[in-house]
Chain A
Amino acid sequence: MPEKKIRVLIAKPGLDGHDRGAKIIARALRDAGMEVIYTGLRQTPEMIASAAVQEDVDVIGLSILSGAHNTICPQLMALLREKGMNDVTVLVGGIIPEADIASLKQSGIAEIFLPGTSTQDIIEFIHKRIAR
């Protein structure tokens, strides 16, 4: 039986349009053999949670550079729990002050990747986490 591909939703929540990072990650994960769905810009937590359910993804990657992470992340995590998506791995990449990292992880974010992370590190993290 062929191995099932890891399914990833790359999402850009909030009003920010800086999508360089999101697009690089989407392409790098696809090149690494994953099935990647990119939401496009300006997604609300509701839109992201619905897309995650509909696409039945293993991983959600959020790209946030605007400082709105403390508002967006807990809202999304609550919605995912409501929808019964307790197993989905949620990752955040972008500009996140060190002081906010602990509380984001407490809200259920699996890992936070800061500027300068290589795409390889993210790919390895996902492979380890979603061992098939």
Chain B
Amino acid sequence: MNDKSKSITPTAPPPEVSSAHRKPSAKEQAWEKNTLQPTLEKNPERQAEFTTISGHPIRRLYTPADLPDWNAERDLGFPSDPPYTRGIHSTMHRGRLWTMRQFAGFGTAEDTNQRFRYLLAQGQTGLSTAFDLPTLMGYDSDHPLSEGEVGKCGVAISSLADMEVLFDKIPLANVTTSMTINSPAAVIWAMYLAVAEKQGADWKKLSGTLQNDILKEYIAQKEYIYPPEPSMRLVIDTFEFGVKNTPKFNPISISGYHIREAGSTAIQELAFTLRDGLEYVEGGMRRGLDVDQFVPQLSFFFNAHSDFFEEIAKYRAARRIWHKAMVERYGSKNPRAWALRFHTQTAGCSLTAQQPYNNVVRTAIQALAAVLGGTQSLHTNSLDEAWALPTEFAATIALRTQQIIAHETGVTNTVDPLGGSYFVETLTNEVESGAWEYIRKIDAMGGMVAAIERSYPQREIAEASYRYQMALDKKEKIMVGVNDFVSEEKHLDTLQIDETVAHRQAERLTKLRAQRSNDEVARRLNALRTAAKSSDNLMPFIFDAVKSYATLGEICDALRDVFGTYEEVAIT
């Protein structure tokens, strides 16, 4: 920590949870006594306690008594005005629908390029790239550890040559592209920028999102390569590079999605994600970047799980927390830094392998929550994803689900239709307050990197995930088709990816290494190694290496030489 971090002020206390001091009106009390009690005596409720999927208690009825200190103008405000409870744009989905951005990637760059062009032809409005595990871990397709994994969970990208094929005939100047890549994010981004340059696209106008959220990798998804400190440096390098060169590109998508998929509660997802966000903001400030200049480029990514209102409350609370933190912790003066923009993906972990067509219904309800919560961008999962990557048939239904919500249901006709609901406002307050409690705890530990090093978020998530599994095993929570309403199964045709993908990739790499100038590659990799030992921004060096057709594996290895690798303490 250097001097600049001292200017960061502690966070203000959270708002009180209103239900703790409920004072029901005389009429409400009379209703409880004369109407409710006799009913309960005659017909007890189905359960002693009702809770969200996260285990958060829910009352029978919400009334003005739940919002005693609530002030509509202060706590709700107006869309595009602080505290952004109602959304970040004044006309929200009346003005512009969310971006329908389906995550896609499998096999070789050719296979995925074809799927991209199919999705665009079907009316999708943005691209989102899934990379395979070797690419995510910074290994070339022909590395021994890549065996069996090439092209399986996403597309295999080992060099700029692959990236050129991936975006062939897709004009990057006109399409926004999201790339789900973290530890090697700087390298993949450099490849993307190189393709854009070759296409003649102006970097200043390029728009898209790099996931690049390494903190949630240590916390949840576990695709890390380097230790936290050099990893954070790489992330801040991309911020600094982005502010100067690609002002419309989001260099990061601070992600709760994977935290939730790892089994967290909604409050944990929100708290850990926003605390990660604060860690990145503070990292940028320590680098000397101006909060009001770089924070507007930071974007977020949340899960849309099955508990409808809890999810909506989560998105609304997220915007309020971010605004408060930017203004009160960092003294931001730029409203663009206060407004939290987010992408949403429906919950992969809620999909069932059993009776897979039910997943269409789950996904539709989850997507609706994201839309009502004011999302800027949305991915809907396909019905077959508990088995494999989606077929074209399944992916089409998933996209159609969004189009039905957008064009048939009428939910886009008005901004924040649930605003002012006693229940939704109370739940928003409670989720916000629960998240602030976690944020303060992590502040007290010395920040997120320190908390990760003592496995704090990892342990909290593991506890929540085990609690939920036990609730399923005891049938306290129901998953239709899994622990209740079980029926005979019909066979489902799924996408198969065979080993010919790995062979084609290996051949392409052999050819690449024979055709390029290996002296030039070695020279640029050495320059990168030297820069990594200094405090220089590594983006220009990575970009140079990429342009010489150094492979992803070679570039990541050069950084492994300097940074070393990270091993987590495994907790169970």
Q: Which residues of A contact B (CB under 8 A)?
A: 10, 14-20, 22-24, 26-28, 30, 36, 38-42, 44, 66-68, 70-72, 95, 97-99, 114-116, 118-120
Q: Which residues of B contact A19 (CB under 8 A)?
A: 222, 262
Query: In the complex the two chains form, is A118's CB within 8 Å of B466's CB?
Result: no
For residue B170, CB closer than 8 A to chain A, the reply is no
- A132 CB to closest chain B CB (Å) equals 24
Q: Which residues of B contact A98 (CB under 8 A)?
A: 491
Which of B217, B349, B469, B497 touches A28 (beta carbons < 8 Å)?
Answer: B469
Give 22 A-B contacts (CB < 8 Å), ordered by A residue. Answer: A14-B133, A14-B149, A17-B217, A19-B222, A20-B349, A23-B462, A23-B571, A24-B465, A24-B466, A27-B466, A41-B568, A67-B148, A67-B497, A71-B148, A95-B386, A98-B491, A99-B496, A114-B353, A115-B353, A116-B352, A119-B470, A120-B473
Query: In the complex the two chains form, is A97's CB within 8 Å of B152's CB?
Result: no
Q: Which residues of B contact A10 (CB under 8 A)?
A: 572
Which of A20, A39, A72 touches B465 (beta carbons < 8 Å)?
Answer: A20
- A92 CB to closest chain B CB (Å) equals 14
Query: In the complex the two chains form, is B148's CB within 8 Å of A119's CB?
Result: no
- A100 CB to closest chain B CB (Å) equals 10
Query: In the complex the two chains form, is A16's CB within 8 Å of B262's CB?
Result: no
A-B contact count (CB 8 A): 109
Q: Which residues of A contact B494 (CB under 8 A)?
A: 97
* Given known A-B contacts A67-B153, A97-B494, A116-B479, A18 and B221 have beta carbons under 8 A apart: yes
Query: In the complex the two chains form, is A118's CB within 8 Å of B473's CB?
Result: yes
* Given known A-B contacts A18-B221, A97-B387, A44 and B572 have beta carbons under 8 A apart: no
Chain A proximity mask over B323-362: 1 for CB below 8 Å, otherwise 0:
0000000000000000000000000010011100000000
Chain B interface secondary structure, helix, strand, loop or mixed? loop
Query: In the complex the two chains form, is B466's CB within 8 Å of A116's CB?
Result: no
Q: Which residues of A contact B139 (CB under 8 A)?
A: 15
Which of A28, A38, A66 touches B570 (beta carbons < 8 Å)?
Answer: A38
Q: Which residues of A contact B147 (CB under 8 A)?
A: 68, 71
Query: In the complex the two chains form, is B466's CB within 8 Å of A68's CB?
Result: no
For residue B263, CB closer than 8 A to chain A, the reply is yes
Q: Give the most central of A72, A95, A116: most B CB within 10 Å.
A: A116
Among B9-55, those with CB < 8 Å from A are: none
Q: Which residues of A contact B261 (CB under 8 A)?
A: 18, 20
* Top 10 closest pairs, chain A to chain B, by CB: A17-B222, A71-B148, A40-B570, A68-B148, A67-B152, A15-B133, A26-B572, A116-B482, A115-B353, A38-B572
13 additional contacts, CB 8 Å, given A17-B224, A23-B571, A98-B491? Answer: A15-B133, A15-B136, A20-B262, A20-B349, A22-B572, A23-B465, A27-B572, A40-B568, A68-B148, A99-B496, A115-B386, A116-B482, A119-B473
For residue B145, CB closer than 8 A to chain A, the reply is yes
Taken together as a complex, chains A and B put the C-alpha atoms of A20 and B570 apart, in Å, by 12
For residue B134, CB closer than 8 A to chain A, the reply is yes
Which of A41, A71, A118, A119 touches B222 (beta carbons < 8 Å)?
Answer: A41
Q: Which residues of A contact B146 (CB under 8 A)?
A: 15
Residue of A nearest to B388 (CB): A97
Query: In the complex the two chains form, is A66's CB within 8 Å of B152's CB?
Result: yes
Query: In the complex the two chains form, is B572's CB within 8 Å of A118's CB?
Result: no
Q: Which residues of A contact B470 (CB under 8 A)?
A: 119
For residue B394, CB closer than 8 A to chain A, the reply is no
Among B112-160, those with CB < 8 Å from A are: 133-134, 136-137, 139, 145-149, 152-153
Q: Which residues of A contact B145 (CB under 8 A)?
A: 15, 42, 44
Q: Give the most central of B152, B261, B497, B572: most A CB within 10 Å.
A: B572
For residue B223, CB closer than 8 A to chain A, the reply is yes
- A108 CB to closest chain B CB (Å) equals 17
Taken together as a complex, chains A and B put the C-alpha atoms of A112 and B68 apart, in Å, by 54
Which of B263, B352, B497 touches A20 (beta carbons < 8 Å)?
Answer: B263
Q: Which residues of B contact A70 (CB under 8 A)?
A: 148
Taken together as a complex, chains A and B put the C-alpha atoms of A46 and B388 apart, in Å, by 27
Taken together as a complex, chains A and B put the C-alpha atoms of A44 and B497 apart, in Å, by 22
Q: Which residues of B contact A38 (CB under 8 A)?
A: 570, 572
Q: Which residues of B contact A28 (CB under 8 A)?
A: 466, 469
Taken together as a complex, chains A and B put the C-alpha atoms of A70 and B133 apart, in Å, by 16
Residue of B nearest to A71 (CB): B148
Query: In the complex the two chains form, is B570's CB within 8 Å of A68's CB?
Result: no
* Given known A-B contacts A19-B222, A95-B387, A118-B483, A72 and B148 have beta carbons under 8 A apart: yes
For residue B472, CB closer than 8 A to chain A, the reply is yes
Taken together as a complex, chains A and B put the C-alpha atoms of A114 and B262 apart, in Å, by 17
Taken together as a complex, chains A and B put the C-alpha atoms of A120 and B353 apart, in Å, by 19
Query: In the complex the two chains form, is A15's CB within 8 Å of B263's CB?
Result: no
Residue of A nearest to B567 (CB): A40
Q: Which residues of B contact A118 (CB under 8 A)?
A: 472-473, 483
Taken together as a complex, chains A and B put the C-alpha atoms of A77 and B469 apart, in Å, by 30
Taken together as a complex, chains A and B put the C-alpha atoms of A40 and B570 apart, in Å, by 5
- B253 CB to closest chain A CB (Å) equals 18
Q: Which residues of B contact A16 (CB under 8 A)?
A: 133, 149, 153
Taken together as a complex, chains A and B put the C-alpha atoms of A39 and B567 apart, in Å, by 12
Among B195-241, those with CB < 8 Å from A are: 217, 221-224
Query: In the complex the two chains form, is B133's CB within 8 Å of A66's CB?
Result: yes
Q: Which residues of A contact B223 (CB under 8 A)?
A: 15, 17
Taken together as a complex, chains A and B put the C-alpha atoms of A67 and B149 apart, in Å, by 7
- A44 CB to closest chain B CB (Å) equals 7
- A97 CB to closest chain B CB (Å) equals 6
